[in-house]
Amino acid sequence: MDETKLPEIEAKRLRESLEKDIQSCIDEVTEAINAARTGAIIDDSEEPVRIATAKLRQKIFQKALQMKTDAAAAAFSPSAQGKNKKQFPAQGQTKS
């Protein structure tokens, strides 16, 4: 297996790109807790909170994977695979 290490992503960039999603999750959790009946806060809010945090977890994971993929693509060097490839003349030139 290839031991090439992929570029790392930065937590700060991930956090910044998810600020709106984090705030939206907090808003949904707050709304669920506030809408719950007295004496039934856990029963009334547990599922909406679970859904809100699950959506955030999915967005975090998707964004982190996308950042990792983008970093790997940016680090990719097309000329590195030319070692075993047939060399073709540039357009308008003939092969000698």
Going residue by residue through the chain, which has 96 residues, state the pLDDT in tens, using 9 for 90 and above: 567 788 999 999 999 999 999 999 999 999 999 999 999 999 999 999 999 999 999 999 999 999 999 999 988 767 655 555 555 555 665 555
Residue-level pLDDT at 70: 93
Best CA proximity match to 27, nearest among 49, 5, 11, 43: 49
From residue 23, how far is each of 27, 32, 68, 96 by CA, in Å? 6, 14, 23, 64
